[in-house]
Structure 1
Amino acid sequence: MASTEQKMSRMQLTAMVVGGMVGAGIFSLPRTFANATGPLGALVAWLIAGTGMYMLARVFQALAERKPDLDAGVFAYAKAGFGDYPGFLSAFGYWIGSCIGNVSYWVLIKSTLGAFFPVFGDGNTLVAIVVASIGIWLFHFMILKGVQQAAFINSIVTVAKIVPILVFIVIMIFAFRMNVFSANFYGGGLEGNLFQQVRATMLVTVFVFIGIEGASVYSRYAKERADVGRATIFGFIGVSALMVLVTMLPYAALQRADIAGMRQPSMAAVLESVVGHWGAVFVSVGLIVSVLGAYLAWSLICAEVLFTAAKTDDMPAIFAKENANKVPANALWLTNIVVQLLVMSTYFSRDAFALMLNLTSATSLIPYLFVAAYGFMISRRGETYEIRPEERRRDLIMATIAVIYTIFMIYAGGLKFILLSAVLYAPGTILYIWARREQNKTVFIASDWIIFFVTVIGAVVGIYGMATGLITL
């Protein structure tokens, strides 16, 4: 396949952003927020998350325009700004976090089916794992036929999965009751101050915004470089509006405590309470389509990150090979082998979905922090601002806010997930050592050794915590 046939339009790039963001998380928002806060806290949480992620999206947009040679997006900025090993950690963390996120999709699909077909149970029965495994490899071989074909399918699926969400929003608008909304406004009986309520929602807001960088990751396929930034902003604004409405409208139809007690996916349970059983079926079908679409988008992104890291000598060269359809086949194979192993491990898990949601968020925050910090670095230095220098102050302010936001998110997530992330990062360094020795390069410079030792210490503490029960999964 010729490279010209692999180019993506602005609409397809936007679909990659929307397809990556609209997945499992949006269908769990009513219960997740109702467990933590009322409408006031939800508004504050979305204001913080929306502002922070909008600033991060604008950093992605600015970097896409000012650093067009950095095609890999997420990890390329870490490498350019902070060195080879931090760049590798950013790439590995983003890749492994995305793999974990893909597993959460299969868990939610199986648990949703379990509500109608008992053989699937809570999504971790033997039958459920076998069916999920078949799905993993069906997607695998479809993607091997070509990135462009998979991106086209993703565009179609993105449209299809938005429809049930829009129907939910319209029905909930007609069910709106101001007296119920007012009774729930300050938390409807929840204890804890507003800050505590808001903090409890922060990690899930990160999870539902993951995917904002989808167009940036695929920037090398863009027909026009400017389309990358525009697709990022268009996708962000559209999905943000959907998520805020899905969160807020149930507070105007049902008591907060009732929403908090609903099963997941809570969007289905909310609609069932308003219109009857068909609402649960309708949303459940939409969820399965949505999650399968998100899985497709993230399978593409996982393989692309690993492939591009290998092309830039940050991963072993074996992952830089493409098949006849210009698909990074070896990268895709490793990705889906890891996903397969993690899916099998859910058989022994109590609450695999919640754990993998939080781990996905935690591992993604490190690469996001590197991106924000690199945007801050070049705008503070004035690098690339010989062209349109009037934008420098604006970009510096946006990057500063993005840095503060990502640091706050890491704090809000807590030490537990930082340590669990280190458990993944430390052994992942083997891939970096492999790549450096392939190229006959020094593995670590002085600053890299410091980072490596801190990572290993974090991993040891994390493993000790799990072994002793101090860290529960």
Structure 2
Amino acid sequence: MSKGKIGLLSLTALVLSSMIGSGIFSLPQNMAEVAGAEALLIGWAITGVGIIFLGLSFFFISRLKPQLDGGIYTYAREGFGDLVGFLSAWGYWLCATIGIVGYLVVAFEGIGTFTDSADYVLFGQGNTIASFIGASIIVWLVHWLIAGGVKEAASVNLVATFVKVFPLVLFIGLAIWYFSPEQFAQDWQGNGLNNNVSDQVKNTMLITLWVFTGVEGAAVLSAHAKKRSDVGVATVLGIVIALVLYVAITVLSLGVLPRETIASMSNPSMAGLLAHMMGGAGKWIITLCLIVSVLASYISWTMYSAEVPYRGAKNGAFPRILDKLNVNGTPINSLWFTGLVVQFCLVLVLLTGKSYNALLLISTSMILVPYFLIGAYLFKLSLQENAAWYIKLTGFMAALYGLWIVYAAGLDYLLLSVLLYVPGIGLFLYSRYQFKGKRFELNNGEKVLLVIIAILFVWAVYNSFNNVDWG
């Protein structure tokens, strides 16, 4: 295999494939459950503006600092120091790793629609022994594929991305044909939800954030790009394509069936909607494409999960053993590390019976801080470089969107993320001690940040303890 570089088309496909995983196939039900048509449009408007500014942040940083590789980790470290850089890397790595476990779970839940019945359950919700065996096989097949070269893995992902986009275009075309303006306006304010429009908008935020995670894919793999200038372009192209697909699917769905009907559908809800429009074949088409989609996303997210610890290890944020490339230019020890953690999480899923939704909840909470730091770094960098006003505006708006997401997510998500950040800090201190010759060398700002995190951790533990139902 070669150490070939990734071109613009494959980079864009990686960004698009990362964002379009399983979430889009359940999006009509997810949104209809929490928002009426008015709140849905407002939610997408906020998300659309915010996510475009976030994507443009990657674009402008790649222009202002083309020498920086690694995206999420490197940008945060460059802007705010080693500890903050590590926290961004750890949060992102956990989001990616837990997220890809979720992809495997939902893939085998999808396969179960073809094999399971009321009397015979083989794959269930992706948490049975058969699902565990199948998912484990995929983990190590993908490990072998990526170990053979990042470019080769990206080429496989490119083909799969075309496959996954086909049913989405089919769905949108049929939904336009069946769309009824009267049906769309029937429950304009979501009166049956018993909350106001602003609360409905807040409730859409984590859903819309989840379906856009992966926007940073090209930046994370920037070291493997043929041209550094392609990184920003691929990011913006991927966002625009995904945004058009997401808005079209959710808005058009409310013009096909009543919101209450869509909200009560089982997921993937696109299957039920397509079955309504074209008969039983619709469910088969969506389910098959869901399986292809999440497995393609698994490939791209595994590549990101392996890249981030490797970049961190080069600066002492992760253990030194992860700083190794194989002959194909793949960060092989980091890839092994990610694979083993995914395998361990699959064991936990098998033992605890956790479903995809529980994994999605944990994964999404971990991406809040890394996304905020991207906008904050561009804003800081634009001031330092005295960049054009529109670059400063982009950084400010992206950071503001990051803060809005943290607010919309609520206290429980923030405290959950703190619980998951603390084990990573232990890893950082060990790696730092190893890298700095048995010294930590923390500056005063980092010491203050550790104290704040410790206080939040105690609060998070207390909050979790009080929320336990002791029955």
Q: Same fold (TM over 0.5)?
A: yes
Q: Deviations over 1:288-331 (max 9, x none)?
A: 01100111000001101111111233211111111122111110
The 8 Å contact of residues 203 and 358 in structure 1, kept in 2 or not, is answered as: no
Matched, 1:317 2:320: yes
Residue by residue over 1:326-361, the C-alpha shift from the partner in whole angstroms, topping out at 9 and shown as x without a partner, is 111110111111111212222354653222222222
Structure 1 counterpart of 2:151: 148
* Aligned counterparts, 1:253-402, within 5 A: 253-349=256-352, 352-381=355-384, 383=385, 385=386, 389=387, 392-402=388-398
Code of the aligned partner of 2:393: I
* Cα distance change on mapping 1:461 and 1:346 into 2, 3 Å: farther
Structure 2 Cα separation of the partners of residues 471 and 436 of structure 1: 39
Q: Which amino acid aligns with 2:442?
A: F
Deviation at 1:82, TM superposition (A): 1.0
Call closer, same or farther: CA 1:210–1:233 in 2, change over 3 Å.
same
- With over 3 angstroms needed to count, the CA separation of the structure-2 counterparts of 1:106 and 1:471, relative to structure 1, is farther
One-letter amino acid of the structure 1 residue matched with residue 34 of structure 2: A
CA displacement at 1:110 relative to structure 2 = 2.1
Alpha carbons 2:150, 2:303 under 8 Å: kept: yes
Displacement, 1:126? 1.9
Classify 1:471/1:300 alpha carbon distance in 2 versus 1 (closer, same or farther; 3 Å). farther
Following superposition, the deviation at residue 228 of structure 1 comes to 0.8
Output one character per residue of 1:205-233: Cα deviation in whole Å (capped at 9) or x when no partner. 11111111111111111221111111111
How far is 1:443 from its partner? Answer: 4.3
Distance 1:223 1:250, change over 3 A: same
Task: Report the AA paired with residue 414 of structure 1.
Answer: G
| Code of the aligned partner of 1:166 | V
Deviations 1:112-139, CA, capped at 9 Å, x for gaps: 2222222111221222222111211111
Residues 67-107 of structure 1 show CA distances to partners (whole Å, capped at 9, x for unaligned) of 11211111111111111111111111111111011111112
- Residue in 2 that maps onto 1:233: 236
- Partner SS for 2:366: helix
Match of 1:31 among 29, 32, 53: 29
Partner of 2:137: 134
Deviations 1:116-171 (A, max 9, x none): 22211122122222211121111112211111110110111111111111111111
User: Following superposition, which runs of at least 4 residues in structure 1 exceed 4 angstroms of deviation?
Assistant: 348-351
Gaps of 5+ in 2: 117-121
CA distance in structure 2 between the aligned counterparts of 1:111 and 1:302, rounded to whole angstroms: 23
Tell me which residue corresponds to 1:70: 68
Distance 1:349 1:35, change over 3 A: farther
Aligned to 1:91: 89
Residue equivalent to 2:20: 22
Q: Confirm or deny: 8 A CA contact 1:462 1:471 kept in the other structure.
A: no
Equivalent in the alignment of 1:457: 455
Summarize the Cα distance change of 1:28–1:7 in structure 2 as closer, same or farther, 3 Å threshold. Answer: same
State how 1:179-218 maps to structure 2 within 5 Å: 179-187=182-190, 189-218=192-221
Per the TM alignment, residue 431 of structure 1 is displaced from its structure 2 partner at its CA by: 2.2
Deviations 1:23-80 (A, max 9, x none): 0111111001000112211110010001001001111100001011211111111111
Match of 1:410 in 2: 406
Q: 1:285 to 1:72 in 2, by over 3 A?
A: same
Deviation at 1:395, TM superposition (A): 0.8
Aligned mates of 1:461, 1:336 — CA distance in 2: 32
Q: Tell me the distance in 2 between the aligned counterparts of 1:91 and 1:442.
A: 19
Question: 1:236-293: CA deviations, max 9, x gaps?
Answer: 1011100111111111110110100000111112112222221011000010011001
Q: Which runs of 5+ in 1 are unaligned?
A: none
Question: Separation in 2 of the partners of 1:48 and 1:371?
Answer: 18
**For residues 458 and 327 of structure 2, what CA distance do their matches in structure 1 show?**
43
Which range moved further: 454-463 or 32-41? 454-463
Asked whether the 8 Å contact 1:207–1:358 carries over to 2, the reply is no
Counterpart contact for 1:424–1:459, Cα < 8 Å: no
3-state DSSP of counterpart to 1:201: helix
The two structures have a TM-score, normalised by structure 2, of 0.94
Aligned position for 1:173: 176
Aligned with 1:453: secondary structure?
Answer: helix
Deviation at 1:464, TM superposition (A): 4.1
Given that 1:306 and 1:315 are in contact with CA atoms closer than 8 Å, whether structure 2 keeps it comes out as yes
The answer on whether the counterparts of 1:142 and 1:150 sit within 8 Å (CA) in structure 2 is: yes
Q: 1:448 aligns with which of 446, 459, 468?
A: 446
Relative to the length of structure 1, the TM-score reads 0.94
Contact map agreement 2:86 2:317 (CA 8 A) in 1: yes
Q: Percent identity?
A: 37
Distance 1:448 1:108 in 2: 39
Computed over aligned residues only, the root mean square deviation of the Cα atoms, in angstroms, reads 1.7
1:379 maps to amino acid: S
Residue 433 of structure 1 aligns with which residue? 429
Contact 1:307–1:320 (CA under 8 A) maintained in structure 2: yes
